[in-house]
Structures are given as structure tokens and as C-alpha cells.
Structure 1
Amino acid sequence: MEALKELIERRKEVGEKPSYTKGGDYNDFIEYGRLGDLIIEEVCRMYDTGELN
């Protein structure tokens, strides 16, 4: 559960930065999507192992 919380917090931090279309970094855009994928993978793993009630 702690790993999931860390991923969510990191994604929030990246999401608060300016959009790459408004002068932000394109790498932040990529990282935001990647973190979303990792969050989904972690939730699925937790569901499969019974950690998610």
C-alpha cells in the first residue's frame, strides 16, 4: 500500500507542473502517463494478492 501512496503523490507533483504545451517539460508529460500506468499495475497486483479489500 505504501508503494501505491508514493506513486500517487509523485504523480500529483508532476501533474502540478505546467503543461508542456504551456512551456512545461515534455518529459513531465511522459512521466505523468508512466506513473499512471504504474499505479494501475500496482492496484492490479494488490487486487490479485488480496491486499485490496
Structure 2
Amino acid sequence: MGVVINEFEVLAEPQRAAKADEAGKEGEAPAKIDLHDLQVAQRELERCALRLWAH
């Protein structure tokens, strides 16, 4: 069932059984994140935090 937020309809993605099986495995390391992607994400989080702090 979709949920309407403002003028957009939000639909949940159907979860696959394979994803549930992968999430249930213990002892597996998460996928490695590229260093550049990590730095970009950190900068974005810092930018958002500074904007919230300014208000």
C-alpha cells in the first residue's frame, strides 16, 4: 500500500527472501566501502549537521 506525502506517493520495495537470508548470516563482514564514497558521505553529514546547528 502506498503512502502519499505531499504530492508524492511512496511505495515500499518488496523484500526478497534472499536478502533476509543474507542478513541472517552471522560472522560475515559487511561489504567494503570505497574511501572516496565514505569521504563524500561524511562531508554531506557534516554539512547537514552545520545547517541544523545554524537554525
Report the TM range for the smaller structure's normalisation: 0.3 to 0.5
Larger radius of gyration: 2
Q: TM-score, normalised by structure 1?
A: 0.41
TM-score by length of structure 2 reads 0.39
Higher RCO (Cα < 8 Å, 6 or more apart): 1
Larger proportion of helix: 1
